[in-house]
Homo-oligomer: A and B are copies of this chain.
Amino acid sequence: MTDNQDAAESALKRKLRIVIFGTDTPAGRWFDLILLLCIVASVSLVLLDTVQSVNQRWGELIHGLEWFFTLVFTMEYLLRLYCSAHRWQYARSFYGVVDLLSVLPSYLALFFPGANFTLIIRVLRLFRIFRVLKLLRYLSEGNMLLRAMMQSSRKVFIFFFSVSLIIMVLGAVMYMVEGPENGFSSIPKSIYWTIVTITTVGYGDITPKTDLGQAIAALTMLIGYSIIAIPTGILTAEISQEIGRSRDLRRCSNCLKTGHEPQARFCNRCGSELAEEI
Contact = CB atoms under 8 A, between A and B. Distances in A.
Contacts of A119: 175-176
A187 B5 CA distance: 51
Contacts of A43: 168
A144 interface: yes
Contact of A191 (B47, B161, B196, B202): B47
A130 B47 CA distance: 36
Contact of A230 (B139, B197, B235): B235
A113 interface: no
Interface residues of chain A: helix, strand, loop or mixed (majority) = helix
Chain A, interface size category, equals: 35 or more
A271 interface: no
A124 to B, nearest CB: 9
A233 B232 contact: yes
A83 interface: no
B229 A240 contact: no
Interface of A: 43, 46-48, 50-52, 116, 119-120, 122-123, 126-127, 129-130, 132-133, 136, 139, 141-142, 144-145, 148-149, 151, 154-156, 158-162, 165, 168-169, 172-173, 175-176, 185-189, 191-192, 195-205, 207, 211, 214-215, 217-218, 221-222, 224-226, 228-243, 245, 261-262
Given A119-B175, A127-B169, A141-B155, 5 more contacts: A47-B186, A116-B176, A196-B217, A229-B232, A241-B243
